[in-house]
Amino acid sequence: MTNTELAEVESVADKPERQRLSAQDWEIAALELMAEEGVAAVAVESLARRLGVTKGSFYWHFSTRDALIEAALKRWEDTDNHNTIARAEQIENPTRRLRELFRQTSREMRSHKIYAALLKAADHPVVAPVMERVSNERIAYLARVFVQAGMQPVDADHRARLTYSTYVGFLQLALQFRASRLSSDAFDDYVGHVIDTLVPN
């Protein structure tokens, strides 16, 4: 672990073309590809080409393709993911926290693209448990905040589910149908409407 960290630091210098890869490099590249072209596109040979090596390298780091997927998802869950909620937690007022959560969420694309890709691969045995865990955590978090914002527990559960469904649905509609994409202003208007409709008070 200390070894890899040192390697990481050094790698910042000779970034452009470096010869020897670590498992991390494969995981990161896998997430990148996943965000762009979906889980199915994460193929060993394809990834290897991207990294300028061959599969001979891959199978030294990972025993199987699924092992890579699993490691990559773990990385995603640990980093991209926990940050989202942690950042929102800093705002005291729950109503304002929800507003900010929505606005923040409506910006940074990368993690969302990955989540969208995972949604489309929810039948994959490695992906399914991750998705279930992440989604349920988020819904539960939303429910807690709705309670803090003054809703009854039952209503808060429903509203959390409704809210999260809205998020998931939006990902599908927006990220897939690239044609009917909203302009930046129109999108802000839409988010405003969503907030007014779903956030109490």
Partner DNA sequence: TGCTGTCAATACGCTTGCGTATGGAGTGCG
Partner DNA sequence: CGCACTCCATACGCAAGCGTATTGACAGCA
Q: How far is CA 195 from the centre of its chain?
A: 21
Residue 63: name its binding partner from a copy of itself, DNA, none (Cβ under 5 to 8 Å by kind): DNA
Q: Which stretches of 13-92 are DSSP H helices?
A: 23-37, 44-51, 55-61, 65-76, 82-88
Site track for a copy of itself across 135-154, x = CB under 8 A: xx-----------------x
Residue 59: name its binding partner from DNA, a copy of itself, none (Cβ under 5 to 8 Å by kind): DNA
Q: How far apart are CA 82 and CA 118, in angstroms?
A: 17
Site track for a copy of itself across 23-52, x = CB under 8 A: ---------------x-x------------
Residue 197 found at the interface with a copy of itself (CB under 8 A): yes
Q: Which residues bind DNA (CB under 7 A)?
A: 19-22, 42-46, 48, 52-57, 59-61, 63-66
- Please select the residue that binds a copy of itself; options are 85, 91, 131, 147, rule is CB under 8 A: 131
The 10 Å Cβ neighbour count of residue 47 is 21
Residues 6+ apart with CB under 8 A from 52: 17
Nearer to a copy of itself, 52 or 129 (CB): 129
Please name the helix (run of DSSP H) or strand (run of DSSP E) that holds residue 170, with its range, or none.
helix 153-176
Nearer to DNA, 60 or 187 (CB): 60
Are 124 and 39 spatial neighbours (Cβ–Cβ below 8 Å)? Answer: yes
